Amino acid sequence: MNEELNKVSEYRPKIWAIGGGKGGAGKSVVSTIMAFWLARMGNRTILVDVDLGGANLHTLLGIKSPARTLNDFITRKFESLEDICIETEEKNLRLISGASDVLSLANPHFSQKIKLITHLSRLDADYVVLDLGAGTSFNVLDFFLVAHKKIVVLTPEPTSIQNAYIFVRNAVYRKLSRLSSKNPSLQALVKIAMDPKNVLKIRTIKELIQMIEESDENNIVELLKKEIGDIHLSVITNMVRKDKEENAGRIVQIVAEKYLTISSSDMGSISYDKHVQTKISDMFPIIKLDQSSHAFGNVYDITGKLTRG
Ligand SMILES: Nc1ncnc2c1ncn2[C@@H]1O[C@H](COP(=O)(O)OP(=O)(O)O)[C@@H](O)[C@H]1O
Ligand SMILES: [Mg+2]
């Protein structure tokens, strides 16, 4: 599997994944506005609804009932992802809808996931933006890990900060677990360490690495350190209402560095915009909103930074 995933970076397009734990932080809103701006900047962009359990991106884009969805690809009705891309009203922006009434899709088979990742990496586009579902299942984490930009969206609420941290933590453990798949005793150790209340009292990735260094498996430790070191997060704080809330993302950055040995960049914050909220409740297409609003301006700046970084 690692080889399959590693191949991805050799291909265009650039893949950006937006994750961050539980629902409600604004992942779908942020990924939609981000994809909109990427398209406006002249990039051929495909927004993909990877929220396989609760897809809603088509609604944000003003598409009532998508003609084709990921379901049609997974059930092999269409062989190519290109065939299920839907044009949007925005030039340069296409959507792959995740809308699905098939429950099993929320938990795709391992081989289906690999196939999907491989095909996503071959899409004919400059940017592929993945809106990840809520939660930290392996399905979500694997899409996050494969992306060139690993974007974490959180709000200033303590639970959201905590969820974002747990999301990143699980992503790191998922990577370690995959890397140790051919090494049963190491994999067992990673599995134990994943439980926050484990008997070995391993509380952080740092402590886990130390324990591996002291064990018989220490020949792999440099590889593990390098692979974890390659994970770089881009952190965004959404729905900021007061200046001091802008720094919520910093907390995730600090703990990710301290406990998970993960590097990150603060991409900035997005204002809480009442207009965004009310229009979404009215099912008004988000890309038709007033683009001079604060929230749109903030996402514009963030998108620019991400394209340059
Ligand atoms: N910047 C913002 N300003 C105001 N409301 C927002 C903003 N971002 C998101 N929201 C509100 O939060 C709700 C949940 O956002 P959504 O993107 O669906 O979250 P997620 O995908 O993380 O579950 C939206 O329906 C909208 O009402
Ligand atoms: Mg969502």
Q: List, for residues 4-18, the tens digit of each pLDDT value.
A: 555 544 558 999 999
With respect to residue 218, please indicate whether it lies within any of the assigned structural domains.
no
Q: Tell me how crowded residue 188 is: count the other CB atoms within 10 A of its CB.
A: 11
Neighbours of ion ligand 2 (CB under 5 A): 27-28
Q: Tell me how crowded residue 180 is: count the other CB atoms within 10 A of its CB.
A: 21
Backbone phi, psi, residue 164, to 5°: -65, -40
pLDDT given for residue 308 in this prediction: 95
With a 6 Å cutoff on the Cβ, whether 298 touches ligand 1 is no
Regions in the chain scoring below 50 on pLDDT: 1-2, 8-9, 103
Q: What is the CATH number of the domain that holds 142?
A: 3.40.50.300
Q: How far does the centroid of ligand 1 lie from the alpha carbon of residue 259, in Å?
A: 29
pLDDT given for residue 291 in this prediction: 80
With respect to residue 181, please indicate whether it lies within any of the assigned structural domains.
no
How confident is the model over 156-183, as pLDDT tens digits? Answer: 999 999 999 999 999 999 999 999 988 8
User: What secondary structure letter does DSSP report for 103?
Assistant: G
pLDDT given for residue 1 in this prediction: 46
pLDDT given for residue 253 in this prediction: 97
With a 6 Å cutoff on the Cβ, whether 29 touches ligand 1 is yes
pLDDT given for residue 287 in this prediction: 84
205, 306, 201: which is closest to 264 by C-alpha?
306
With a 6 Å cutoff on the Cβ, whether 81 touches ligand 1 is no
Beta strands in 45-122 (DSSP E): 45-50, 86-87, 93-96
With respect to residue 175, please indicate whether it lies within any of the assigned structural domains.
no
pLDDT given for residue 108 in this prediction: 67
pTM: 0.93
With respect to residue 219, please indicate whether it lies within any of the assigned structural domains.
no
With respect to residue 258, please indicate whether it lies within any of the assigned structural domains.
yes
With respect to residue 226, please indicate whether it lies within any of the assigned structural domains.
no
pLDDT given for residue 283 in this prediction: 83
Q: Which residue among 276, 284, 300 is best mutated to probe the pocket of ligand 1, counting the most ligand atoms within 8 A of its Cβ?
A: 276
With a 6 Å cutoff on the Cβ, whether 33 touches ligand 1 is no
pLDDT given for residue 12 in this prediction: 83
With respect to residue 151, please indicate whether it lies within any of the assigned structural domains.
yes
With respect to residue 256, please indicate whether it lies within any of the assigned structural domains.
yes
**Looking at the CA of 55, which ligand is closest?**
2
| Residue 48 structure tokens | 């993909």
With a 6 Å cutoff on the Cβ, whether 167 touches ligand 1 is no
The whole domain housing 130 covers 2-164+233-308
Distance CA 51, CA 83 (A): 19
- Count the domains in the chain: 1
pLDDT given for residue 239 in this prediction: 97
